[in-house]
Amino acid sequence: MSKRVPTAGKRIRDIGEFKLIDIVTAVVAGTQPGRLSLGIGDDAAVWRPSPGRHIVMSTDTMIEEEHFRLEWGDWKSLGHKALAVNLSDLAAMGARPRLALVSLGLTGAERDREVADLYKGMVTLGSEFKTAVVGGDTTTSESAVMISVTVLGEAPGGPDSVMKRSAARAGDLVAVTGPLGLAAGGLEVLDQELRTLDGGPAMEEAFLRPKPRVREGRILARSGVRCAIDLSDGLLGDLPKICQQSDLSAEIDELRIPVPLSIKWAFEDWFDVALRGGEDYELLFTAPPSAFQRINRNFRRAGLRLPTVIGRMVSRGEQEPGVKLRTPSGHLEQLEAGAFAHWG
């Protein structure tokens, strides 16, 4: 395990709350959106949403030693990821992200520039998607650094304007927006110090700085897709949620699952890494076969990688909703739901 590199700068516990807020305010200044009446520095932020839009909101927390280790990466990456996993939730709904609130728990041993870097990481990713950090809260958390982010986005009105887990239909194809397993590979790379591994840096990048598929989500929703989820818990953690909530089963085709060669070369259990590893933050969606011409055309026009079809939704018959795997020999086998390790 590599040691944490000591950083210059003042410790947070020595500079006090006012100075800490000054640091945060300095980093987010200039990124505040026009429709914001009041940002950081008051009890609450005030924002005027676009007329007629629905507000789409989500919250997600990262805790030291559960979701990250400080020695793994720089604080900018940490800020990037804390926001990215939240933007990914909005992407799964097809919403346009607008604002983020950040609740930060610090031990006090952190340096001022580490905290500035954390916010820089958020602000940099946020500006890519026109999402501003508009407020939040800092508190003492002696046992572990904690970053809780809440994001607000907008979606057009109307009951079908967002993609839902419960909206899959029998006969829909199941597709993903990108490769599976890179992030889980990246965790291994960091944990075992395998950076020289073929494809190692790309895996590390996928784990530390996941790309929220916001554009993909909005295009899917505009292309008429009604059902999506983001892959935070892996295909076998998240596809069962669609099955459960849509009261259907899914059949996925082993040969169609997009697993990078680097993952197959690096890990003997690459299939589990790809299906259960989680944290890829690609979108998983279902749509009728007839929709894919439109989806692919819209993705191509936007310069985005085309989705990969990996299977289809089927009636669950007399069985509980679940995921089955079609092996290369054509055999169908039941897959156990679940991601690695976490209970939540």
The residue within the footprint of a second copy, chosen from 1, 16, 127, 195 (CB under 8 A), is 16
Task: List 97's β-bridge partners, or say none.
Answer: 153
Per rule CB under 8 A, is residue 95 in the interface with a second copy? yes
Contacts with a second copy in 148-187 (CB under 8 A)? Answer: 148, 150, 152-153, 155, 157, 159, 162, 164-166
Minimum CB distance to a second copy, residue 300 (Å): 26
- Which secondary structure element, helix H or strand E, spans residue 20, and what is its range? helix 12-28
Per rule CB under 8 A, is residue 209 in the interface with a second copy? no
For helices 12-28 and 112-128, angle between their N-to-C axes, nearest 10 degrees: 20
Span from 13-21, 193-201, 267-275, 293-301 in contact with a second copy (CB under 8 A)? 13-21
Task: List 227's β-bridge partners, or say none.
Answer: 286
Q: Which SS3 state, helix, strand or coil, does residue 132 take? A: strand
Minimum CB distance to a second copy, residue 82 (Å): 12
Q: Which is nearer to a second copy, 202 or 335 (CB)?
A: 335
* Separation CA 263–CA 344 (nearest Å): 25
Span from 25-33, 94-102, 292-300, 303-311 in contact with a second copy (CB under 8 A)? 94-102
What are the b/e assignments for 45-55, b being 16+ CB within 10 Å?
bebeeeeebbe
The residue within the footprint of a second copy, chosen from 1, 4, 10, 17 (CB under 8 A), is 17
- Please count the other Cβ atoms lying within 10 Å of the Cβ belonging to residue 246: 22
Judged by CB under 8 A, how many residues of this single chain contact a second copy?
Answer: 73
In the numeric block, which tokens belong to residue 87? 């933007």
Minimum CB distance to a second copy, residue 152 (Å): 7
Q: Which is nearer to a second copy, 59 or 327 (CB)?
A: 59
The C-alpha torsion from 73 through 229 and 341 to 255, rounded to 10°, is -100
The residue within the footprint of a second copy, chosen from 5, 6, 8, 18 (CB under 8 A), is 18
